[in-house]
Amino acid sequence: MEDVRTFLHFGVLLSSVLFTIGAAGEDDFPEAMDVQWVSNNFKTILTWGPEPTNYTYTVEFSRVGKDRQRNPHCIRSSRTECDLTNELRNLQETYSADILSEPLPGVTSDLVEFPYTRAERFSPYKHTKIGGPAFKIVQSEDKTKMTLHIQDPLTPLYKNDQLLTIRDIFKSDLKYRVIYNKAGSTGKKEKMSDLRDVELTNLDKGQSYCVIVAAYIPSRSAQKRLGDWSKAQCSPRENKTIFEEFSFGVISGAIGIMLAIFIILITLTVVCCKRCCCKKTKTVDKDNLQMSPV
């Protein structure tokens, strides 16, 4: 009888231990890692890892010091990103965000607080990356001036049913940095402009110039002021006649060299012809001597 009781006590204890281990395993939700804000032209997405297996992620965000909110598309989700573009509408505010690791939908847990990872604080106005702008080059008639017509990059944000550009948001805080140089040359010049139409003057007539442009926000921290550079564009090179391309001295020198080469070739030809004629004459004379009777 005593052995039976001991066996029953051992069974109950073992069951309790196994239940505790199983419950702990069910409530084991790994924290999110590599949390990053990915924001381009105010399109803002929060990303993290790893891919969940038997759990989900929920994103909570708020303006610093305000109540936390949730995006309905990022609650108990198996995805590892959350688009918060439309939630971060107060662009100059600073936001914080947490990624909570939670059980699968319909599964309960005894945890009072779920594991979470906090993202770095983020301000769309200060931190979003500005993409390289598109632009067109228009040359003046005398080819000594170029005008760049820059297109302000669009954002995904709307106001009065119209897409906003970065100028609508940054206003007078937006500038454009322009770097240009002669095609094939390493010497570069730089110009800063508050306007979308940028004039480059005092250019060498007929030369092709290559240009790149980037947005510049002076109110930002040094590392965030400059946006991405645009693709390089080059103005067309003017087709010149030989007399426009080279000076009179260069042309005269080239003609003199060509004449000298021509004279040398003629002289060599004449000399070679004379030698050949002399050899033929000597050969004929020898043949005549051999054929004459003694």
Q: Give residue-wise pLDDT tens across range 133-182.
A: 999 999 998 888 999 999 999 999 999 999 999 999 999 999 999 999 99
pLDDT at position 258: 84
SS3 7: helix
pLDDT (tens digit per residue) in 193-227 = 999 999 999 999 888 999 999 999 999 999 999 99
Output the six-digit token pair for 176.
Answer: 């454009």
Output the six-digit token pair for 120.
Answer: 């770095």
CB 38 within 8 A of CB 47: yes
Backbone angles phi, psi at 96, to 5 degrees: -125, 155
Q: CA 281 to CA 99: how far, in whole Å?
A: 107
Q: CA 59 to CA 211: how far, in whole Å?
A: 43
CB 73 within 8 A of CB 82: yes
CB 132 within 8 A of CB 152: no
CB 41 within 8 A of CB 155: yes
pLDDT at position 143: 85
| Lowest mean pLDDT, pick from 108-112, 221-225, 251-255, 284-288 | 284-288
Residues counted in the chain: 294
Q: 259: which strand partners? A: none
**Residue among 186, 116, 177, 128 nearest 150 (CA):** 177
Output the six-digit token pair for 236.
Answer: 């067309």
pLDDT (tens digit per residue) in 236-248 = 876 555 555 566 6
